[in-house]
Amino acid sequence: MNGLVGGKRETTIMTVHQHRLSIQGWLALLALILAARFIIDNLGMLLELTWILFGAFILSVMLRPLADLFARWQIPRGITVMVAYSLLLLGIYAILRLIIPVVGVEAASLRQAMPTITGDVMRQIGTMSMAKWLPSTANLAQEVNNQFDTIFLGALSTVTGLGTLLLNLFVLLIVAYFFVTISLHSEHQIWLWLNPIHRSHLRTIFYNSYRRLNRWVWIQLIFGLYHAVAFVLGLLYLQVPFALTIGLLGGFLSLIPYLGVIMATVLAALSVLPTSPWLALWVVLFMTSVTLIGSHVLMPLLFGRAVGLNTLVVLIALFVGAQLQGIVGMIFAIPIAVIIDTVSQEMILPPPAVLAQEQPAAVSGSTEEANAPHA
C-alpha cells in the first residue's frame, strides 16, 4: 500500500516537473521571439550603438597606454584623458582654420576661370548633336523645380546628419573616458562575473586583441605621417599653392582608407586646375603613386609584422566594410578583422603550452616505437 502511494507521488512530481519544463520552454521561446522582433525593429539604432561602443573602445586603446604612463607619475587618468581630448579639439580647430582659406581661394579662382571653362565646354557641345538628350522647353521648368527640391532636401538631411554625428561623437568620447579611467579593481570584478570555464579564454582573447589593436592605432599614425611628409615635399616641389596645408590635410585624411586620400588628391588638383591642367594631371599622378606605394608596400609590411594580418585579408576586410557601412565600415574594418582573427586563433588553434606538451609526447612515443623489439 505504501509502495503504491509512493509511486503515485513520484508520478505526480514528475508530471509537475515536466509541466514546469514545458512552461519554461514556451517562455524561453516567447522571449527569443520578442528579442528577435526588437532587434529587427531597432536594427539601425543597435548598429549605431555598436559603432559608438566599438569606436570608444578603439579610442581607449590609443589613450590607455598614455594614461598608464602618466599614472606612474601620480597624474590621474581622468586628467590625462581630458588633456588628450583638448588637444584633439585644438587639432580639429586648426585643421578647419587651414582648410577654410584654401577652399575660399580655390572657389574664387574657379569662379574667375568658370566663364572660360564653360565657353570651352559649350563649344564642344556645339560640335555634337545633343538635341535628343536635352530636355524639352515644356518640361524644363518642372525639372528645375525638382532639382531645387532635391537640393533643399539634401541640405536639410546634411544638417540633420551633422547634428547626429556630433551627438554620437560626444557620446563616444564620454564612453571612451570611462573605458580609460576604469580602475583595476573594477576590471577584476567584471572578469569575476564571467563563467570560470570560459574566463581564461575570454581574457586571452581580450588582451591579445587589445595589444594588436594598440599596434594598429600607432601604425595608422605612422601611415598618416608618411602621407603627410610625402605629400608636402612633393607638392612643394611641384609648386602647388597651399602645398603645406593640403599635404598635412592629406596625411590626416589618410586615416580614412582610400577615400581620404582621394579627397586630398581632388583638393590638390583643383588648386592648380585653373592655372595649368597639365600640372593638375601631374599632381594626380604623384599623389596616386604615393598612395599606391603606401598601400602595397608600407601597409602590408607594417600590418603583416605588427598586427599579423595578411594583405589579402586587409583588402577583403576593407571591401566588406565599405559595402556594409560605407566610410564607417572602412574605418573599423581592420580592427574587426583583427578581433575575428584573434578569436579564431584562440578557439581553433590550441594554446602554445598545449603544443609544447604534445611535441615531447610525440617524440617520446616515436622513440618507444623505435626501441620496441620486433616480432
174 and 214 fall within a common domain: no
- Cα separation of 205 and 209, whole Å? 6
- Orientation of helix 43-71 relative to helix 196-237, angle to 10°: 80
- Cα separation of 56 and 172, whole Å? 5
Q: What is the pLDDT of residue 21?
A: 53
CB 306 within 8 A of CB 215: yes
Task: Please report where in the chains the cell 589593436 appears, as a residue.
Answer: 213
52 and 80 fall within a common domain: yes
Q: What is the 3-state secondary structure (H, E, C) of the chain?
A: CHHHHHHHHHHHHHHHHHHHHHHHHHHHHHHHHHHHHHHHHCHHHHHHHHHHHHHHHHHHHHHHHHHHHHHCCCCCHHHHHHHHHHHHHHHHHHHHHHHHHHHHHHHHHHHHHHHHHHHHHHHHHHCCCCCCCCCCHHHHHHHHHHHHHHHHHHHHHHHHHHHHHHHHHHHHHHHHHHHHHCCHHHHHHHHHCCCHHHHHHHHHHHHHHHHHHHHHHHHHHHHHHHHHHHHHHHHHHCCCCCHHHHHHHHHHHCCCCCHHHHHHHHHHHHHHCCCCHHHHHHHHHHHHHHHHHHHHHHHHHHHHHHHCCCHHHHHHHHHHHHHHHHHHHHHHHHHHHHHHHHHHHHHHCCCHHHHHHHHHHHHHHHHHHHHCCCC
Q: What is the pLDDT of residue 363?
A: 41
In a domain, 79, yes or no: yes
242 and 331 fall within a common domain: yes
- What are 336's three cell numbers? 574587426
In a domain, 139, yes or no: no
340 and 207 fall within a common domain: yes
Q: What angle do CA 242, 221, 343 make, to 5 degrees?
A: 145
210 and 347 fall within a common domain: yes
- What are 78's three cell numbers? 581622468
In a domain, 88, yes or no: yes
343 and 219 fall within a common domain: yes
- Cα separation of 30 and 18, whole Å? 18
Q: What is the pLDDT of residue 285?
A: 92
328 and 204 fall within a common domain: yes
| Amino acid found at 330 | M
In a domain, 57, yes or no: yes
Q: Of 145, 332, 293, nearest to 301 (Cα)?
A: 293
Query: What's the whole-model pTM score?
Result: 0.60
In a domain, 128, yes or no: no
In a domain, 142, yes or no: no
171 and 255 fall within a common domain: no
208 and 342 fall within a common domain: yes
Residues of the chain with pLDDT under 70: 1-26, 98-100, 102-163, 183-192, 257-258, 300, 304-305, 349-375
CB 223 within 8 A of CB 294: yes
CB 241 within 8 A of CB 274: no
215 and 321 fall within a common domain: yes
Q: What is the pLDDT of residue 154?
A: 53
Enclosing domain of residue 210: 200-351
The structural domain count of the chain equals 2
